[in-house]
């Protein structure tokens, strides 16, 4: 079994890491007491779980000093054990806790203390408590590190393949409002409107006669080229951001002619490169 042990400072990016590993198919356990690590891994392995990620940090109840020995035992059983320790500067951690208004896990202090420790004191106590772990594996300093970059580095650490992104093209009618789930929105209401041709009005952008009209319009061809070029230029960055879906919404006035035609053309262009979905909000209701 592949086991990734995630530890480190509160506010350093452990939640981002665990969510990414879960998206990659890992069975994830957050805040596991160290004394249960070997038993939990034995259970998961016996039940055919190939990948697991466990978060153990200052919140975990139990002696952290037991972890090195537990990891040695797991490796002796043949498991692929990888340890990832996330840290950050005190200034970065203070800023993150201040922005989120969250309490530090150690801010309640120790029994017998007459006052609650400051945030800076809590951070220092946590750093001291986790000191035995930062030499067990790979350390990533997330100070001034964007979450997207952290996700890239974690993917590389666990040898994850390229993100399997689904590219969804969706036509819609502006008169009904912009789809809430749209990531990119393009307006094609400036293209020739088949609605004003009585012969084409009852048809849709999926019909050959409408497609023939729009394909002969230079501005329609140029618009499709520009939208496709924009997506091709920025798609790699969305993939690196570990996205599972990217929804490109194309809108015209009624969602019947122009936007469905453009969506179909874009889907054909990207169909051989990415996993593509096509949706027509207006036409699919008929």
What average pLDDT does range 236-246 have in this prediction?
81
Q: Which residue segment(s) compose the domain that 141 sits in? A: 2-157
194 and 153 co-located in one domain: no
* Of 157, 186, 207, the domain-final residue: 157
d(CA 2, CA 133): 19
* Of 125, 157, 189, the domain-final residue: 157
* Of 102, 136, 157, the domain-final residue: 157
110 and 213 co-located in one domain: no
Residue 182: pLDDT band (50, 70, 90) is very high
39 and 80 co-located in one domain: yes
Q: Find out whether 165 and 246 touch, Cβ atoms under 8 Å.
A: yes
Q: Average model confidence (pLDDT) for the chain?
A: 90
148 and 71 co-located in one domain: yes
Residue 58: pLDDT band (50, 70, 90) is confident
30 and 145 co-located in one domain: yes
146 and 32 co-located in one domain: yes
Q: Find out whether 134 and 5 touch, Cβ atoms under 8 Å.
A: no
pTM of the model: 0.67
147 and 195 co-located in one domain: no
Angstrom CA distances, 229 to 70, 162, 270, stand at: 52, 21, 11
51 and 187 co-located in one domain: no
Q: Residue 162 CB: number of other CB atoms within 10 A?
A: 9
Residue 233: pLDDT band (50, 70, 90) is very high
57 and 180 co-located in one domain: no
188 and 257 co-located in one domain: yes
| Backbone CA torsion sign across 111, 112, 114, 118 | negative
* DSSP state for residue 117 in the 8-state scheme: P
What average pLDDT does range 223-243 have in this prediction?
90
d(CA 27, CA 12): 21
Share of the chain above pLDDT 90, in %: 66
Is the predicted pLDDT of residue 18 greater than 90, yes or no?
Answer: yes
Q: Is 26 helix (H, G, I), strand (E, B) or coil?
A: coil
CATH number for the domain that contains residue 52: 3.40.50.300
197 and 235 co-located in one domain: yes
86 vs 64 pLDDT, higher one: 86
92 and 202 co-located in one domain: no
What is the token pair recorded at 136? 């067990």
Number of domains the chain contains: 2
Q: Find out whether 250 and 186 touch, Cβ atoms under 8 Å.
A: yes
């Amino acid at each position: 079994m592949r086991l990734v042990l995630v530890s480190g400072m509160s506010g350093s990016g452990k939640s981002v890491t665990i969510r990414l590993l879960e998206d990659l198919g890992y069975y994830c356990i957050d805040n596991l007491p160290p004394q249960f690590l070997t038993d939990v891994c034995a259970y998961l392995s016996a039940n055919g779980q190939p990948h697991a990620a466990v978060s153990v940090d200052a919140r975990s109840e139990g002696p952290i000093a037991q972890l090195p020995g537990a990891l040695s035992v797991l490796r002796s059983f043949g498991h692929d054990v990888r340890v990832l320790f996330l840290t950050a500067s005190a200034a970065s951690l203070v800023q993150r806790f201040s922005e989120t208004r969250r309490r530090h896990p150690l801010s309640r202090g120790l029994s017998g203390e007459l006052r609650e420790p400051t945030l800076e004191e809590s951070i220092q106590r946590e750093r001291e408590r986790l000191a035995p772990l930062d030499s067990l594996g790979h350390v990533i300093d997330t100070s001034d590190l964007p979450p997207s970059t952290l996700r890239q580095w974690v993917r590389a650490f666990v040898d994850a393949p390229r993100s399997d992104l689904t590219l969804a093209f969706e036509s819609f009618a502006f008169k009904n409002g912009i789809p809430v789930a749209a990531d990119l929105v393009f307006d094609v209401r400036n293209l020739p409107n088949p609605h004003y041709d009585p012969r084409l009005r009852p048809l849709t952008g999926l019909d050959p006669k409408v497609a023939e009209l729009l394909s002969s319009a230079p501005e329609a061809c140029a618009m499709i080229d520009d939208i496709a070029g924009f997506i091709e230029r920025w798609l790699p960055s969305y993939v690196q951001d570990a996205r599972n879906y990217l929804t490109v919404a194309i809108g015209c006035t009624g969602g019947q002619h122009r936007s469905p035609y453009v969506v179909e053309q874009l889907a054909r262009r990207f169909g051989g490169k990415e996993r593509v979905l096509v949706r027509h909000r207006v036409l699919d209701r008929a």
